[in-house]
Structure 1
Amino acid sequence: MTESLVHPNFKLNGKAVSGDGLWEVAHRFIKEGQAYQESVGRFLLDWLSASAKIHVNTSGSTGKPKKIELLKNHMRNSALATGAFFNLKSGDTCLLCLSCDYIAGKMMLVRAMLLGLDVYIAEPTATPLQHIGYPQTFRFCAMVPLQVQASLDALERIETLIIGGASVSNALKKELLPKKTRCFETYGMTETITHVAIRELSEASRNPFRALPNVHFSLDDRECLVIDAPKIASNKIVTNDQVALVSDTEFLWLGRFDNVINSGGVKLFPEAIEEKLSTYLQDACIVAGIEDERLGQKLVLVMESDSTQKIDLDLFKEIKTLAPYERPKEIYYLPTFIRTKNGKIQREFTLQKAINNQ
């Protein structure tokens, strides 16, 4: 059983490790390692166990975190699909710098074990590349946007980078385009065992997400994405993501159904507006709707900033990409947004805290 779960060429931090040797590594990480290594050790034991299932915690970015079951066979299929998409070969190096408490970190290990990669494990800080000495470079790595932003000066050490966990802002995208690193934004969730669709960051303003092999898309009656991926999920997955379907394997992401704002009868997608604003605003921001007698919901902007340098509302009239109804009517300031452990902004809590701080 262990042999089928671990490629014979698998390496950990540059050293060959057999399937049986992984048991020893896992126990050592749990007994002697730091917190992030303990997390790696616990997952290794889960992966090597006789159980056909893995229990995984969701991130909690869109609601209360919950524990779900995933089939190891589905995780295997997901890893193989990623390997095929990016042409990962046995012996390639990869960097694990995400927490193994969540699916993204777990799947980096699974890809390495199944494909025979040499995985280097770094503490999942904002600047993980600082923990891996030069001249080590990596064929493949996954990061969240906060890590990418803080690692811009060292990205040349990574050949292919996938970015997930939160949207890539226009400002970050502009900084990534001149880099030699090929950067891809991913779409997925815990239930889909990380990404099921990928788009390469390019000069194109809004290129669509493209499905991985054996994944197809449709819409429900809310115009939300439905994912049909029989190799990684037993049933179709109905999401709360509103999209514009380009084909059954491509879509443009518009925003979360539960975030949509109805202002004066006009449907507003906060994420799309935030993408436009990110070109002009340096600080992180979200837009949201608050109750308004005339409009039903009024569009407001929340800035991750103190209020010492306030923004004039007239600025939004100068942003040509913003339609009149997409211009915020009020601005709130909050020094620090409320985020999940993997960096996703918790919108509802952040908005409420910003309002209470005024």
Structure 2
Amino acid sequence: MNRKFQGATFNNKYFTTEALIAYSEKELASGLLPEWELKIYRFLLTFFDDKEYVEQLSSGTTGIPKNFKLSKSAMIQSAQNTIEILGLKPEDNALLCLPIDYIAGKMMVVRALLAGFNLIWEEPSSAPLLQNYDTIDFCAMVPMQVYNSIENREVFKSIGTLIIGGSELRSDVKELIGGLSNTIYETYGMAETCSHIALRKISGHNRDESFKILPGISIFTDERNCLRISASYLENEVVTNDVVELIDDTRFVWKGRYDNLINSGGIKINPEQLEASISKIIGMECAVIGVADKKLGQKVVLFVESVQKLDTNDLELLIKDKLPGFHVPRKIVVVKQLPRNKSFKTDRLKLKELIDRKDI
């Protein structure tokens, strides 16, 4: 790789590039570290090798994961955009609590190499150990990690700047975030775009109603109203399956995934928007999918996450009172835990498998 890095600080220890490579090789050779941490050192060696690209798997949230090549120069430019927009500095402490397998985790490492801030990492989990750190200036999380962390508001407020991505935030959590003084952004992006290409401020004053693209990004829509993305650092245009409403050339509102749309009795229902509405009504995490139905084509099935037993009839009455008739789920299933993939996104494919097993 042509780009020369001066060095980086990881877990409070400064390394020159050469020392970091040697240290990574040493840790991998010893095999004493847990696998999640060894993966970080493998990525560092891959990023510093002579190849111009990094191989990356997509999340596989809506289908079989795809393997593709990401240009290292594109990753660097994306990281530089984030550093400049968020004002990240060498003296900052940043927390890596996401799996390095996915682009979000990899880009935290690349940002640290570029900005020179101190990157501390911990084993990825659904509940980051925020209480273990005096200061966290910058962190990236997925929504489930936020849900499990925000209850301890004093600890959560210690994060200076937080970016959240991967899936939709529950409306009640957004309301809690809105009242915090942290600088918190919801992000939009994917592996193919080297992490986020747009941000939406959701905390404090002057919150954003729509996503605003980063420098060097251009956006369009296709005939499905799905977002198309061009970037100065990407070789090809990225055509997404994300249905959006363009506000202008730099701002858009995300509506949901085109491939998740449910056609029930001729009415097109966006499951992500329906999930947001229902979670606000019932105050619990949930997921909505479409299931084949002879009469309607597809019927709406709601999964509610709860460790306690719930009366589905009570839930149905509560939802019926708040939603249009065609948005009311035809079936409600209570599960102790929604299936999620390694990046903590709801796994809709496994929900469909669960439906097959339950013969819903």
With normalisation by structure 1, the TM-score equals 0.92
Structure 1 residue 197 displacement after superposition: 1.0
Structure 1 residue 205 displacement after superposition: 9.6
CA distance in 2, matches of 1:201, 1:28: 42
Summarize deviations over 1:177-235 as a string: whole Å, max 9, x none: 3333221111111101110111111489981111011111111111111011121x211
Summarize deviations over 1:282-323 as a string: whole Å, max 9, x none: 33211222223332222221222478322332212322xx33
Equivalent runs, 1:269-348 vs 2, <5 Å: 269-305=270-306, 308-312=309-313, 313-319=316-322, 322-348=323-349
How many residue pairs get matched?
351
- Kindly provide the amino acid, as one letter, of the partner of residue 349 in structure 1: K
Corresponding residue for residue 145 of structure 2: 147
Distance 1:305 1:356, change over 3 A: farther
Corresponding residue for residue 5 of structure 2: 6
Summarize deviations over 1:31-88 as a string: whole Å, max 9, x none: 3322121011000001111111111122211211222101110001000000111011
Check if 1:91 corresponds to 2:91: yes
Residues 288 and 301 in structure 2, CA contact (< 8 A), matched pair in contact too? yes
CA distance in 2, matches of 1:338, 1:105: 21
Distance 1:120 1:306, change over 3 A: closer
Corresponding residue for residue 51 of structure 1: 51
Corresponding residue for residue 126 of structure 2: 126
Residues 310 and 334 in structure 2, CA contact (< 8 A), matched pair in contact too? no
Moved more, 66-75 or 24-33: 24-33
Residues 201 and 208 in structure 2, CA contact (< 8 A), matched pair in contact too? no
Check if 1:230 corresponds to 2:229: no
Gaps spanning 5+ residues in structure 1: where?
A: none
Check if 1:156 corresponds to 2:157: yes
Which of 15, 19, 44 is matched with 2:17 structurally? 19
RMSD (Å), alpha carbons:
2.1
Residues 332 and 354 in structure 1, CA contact (< 8 A), matched pair in contact too? no
- Kindly provide the amino acid, as one letter, of the partner of residue 74 in structure 2: H
CA distance in 2, matches of 1:215, 1:166: 21
- Kindly provide the amino acid, as one letter, of the partner of residue 342 in structure 1: S
- Kindly provide the amino acid, as one letter, of the partner of residue 6 in structure 1: F
Residues 142 and 344 in structure 2, CA contact (< 8 A), matched pair in contact too? yes
Distance 1:199 1:230, change over 3 A: same
- Kindly provide the amino acid, as one letter, of the partner of residue 43 in structure 2: F
CA distance in 1, matches of 2:34, 2:142: 21
Corresponding residue for residue 165 of structure 1: 166
Distance 1:354 1:287, change over 3 A: same
Distance 1:326 1:141, change over 3 A: same
- Kindly provide the amino acid, as one letter, of the partner of residue 164 in structure 2: I
- Kindly provide the amino acid, as one letter, of the partner of residue 220 in structure 1: D
Distance 1:95 1:332, change over 3 A: same
Moved more, 53-62 or 168-177: 168-177
Corresponding residue for residue 265 of structure 2: 264
Moved more, 284-293 or 179-188: 284-293
Distance 1:206 1:260, change over 3 A: farther
Corresponding residue for residue 219 of structure 2: 217
Structure 1 residue 243 displacement after superposition: 0.8
- Kindly provide the amino acid, as one letter, of the partner of residue 46 in structure 1: T
Residues 198 and 209 in structure 1, CA contact (< 8 A), matched pair in contact too? yes
Check if 1:77 corresponds to 2:92: no
SS in 2 for 1:24: helix
CA distance in 2, matches of 1:279, 1:263: 22
CA distance in 2, matches of 1:287, 1:210: 28
SS in 2 for 1:356: helix
Runs of 4+ in structure 1 over 3 Å off = 202-206, 305-308
SS in 1 for 2:62: coil
Residues 209 and 250 in structure 1, CA contact (< 8 A), matched pair in contact too? yes
Distance 1:155 1:147, change over 3 A: same
Distance 1:16 1:307, change over 3 A: closer
